[in-house]
């Protein structure tokens, strides 16, 4: 996981590479595919393609877990793009770095 990225956007952009490595150990795995779009300094859209419909809430749980890894507070809104030639879930993600109080 450490090799997948040092920042949240970098990590999300490398999710397909991470799944490719897992597939080496599990050749029959049919992993999902991810793509990032609409990236700004503090937001992006994560596109989730999978033949297994209904796992969007699992993705939200994984995203929530990444908050601690990257020390950010995150908001996530999910919708479904049925108009695309490959229907998929989209996750509109925005984040802010966590501020830590200092002791005097």
pLDDT for the residue numbered 10:
95
The reported pTM is 0.85
What torsion, rounded to 10 degrees, do the Cα atoms 34, 40, 42, 44 define? -20
Provide the residue-wise pLDDT of the chain in tens; the chain has 104 residues: 566 778 999 999 999 887 666 667 777 878 888 999 999 999 999 999 998 888 889 999 999 999 999 999 999 999 999 988 889 999 999 999 998 766 55
User: 22-27, long-range: CB within 8 Å, 24+ apart, which pairs?
Assistant: none
Interatomic CA distance for residues 48 and 69, integer angstroms: 21
pLDDT for the residue numbered 12:
95
Handedness of CA 95, 43, 77, 61 (dihedral sign): negative
């Amino acid at each position: 996981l450490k090799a997948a990225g040092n920042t949240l956007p970098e990590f999300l952009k490398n999710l397909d590479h991470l799944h490719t490595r897992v597939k080496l150990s599990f050749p029959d795995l049919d992993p999902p595919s991810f793509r990032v779009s609409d990236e700004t300094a503090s937001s992006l859209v994560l596109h989730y393609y999978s033949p297994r419909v209904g796992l969007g809430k699992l993705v939200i749980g994984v995203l929530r877990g990444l908050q601690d890894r990257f020390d950010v507070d995150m908001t996530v809104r999910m919708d479904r793009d049925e108009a695309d030639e490959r229907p998929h879930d989209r996750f509109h993600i925005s984040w802010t770095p966590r501020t830590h109080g200092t002791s005097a």
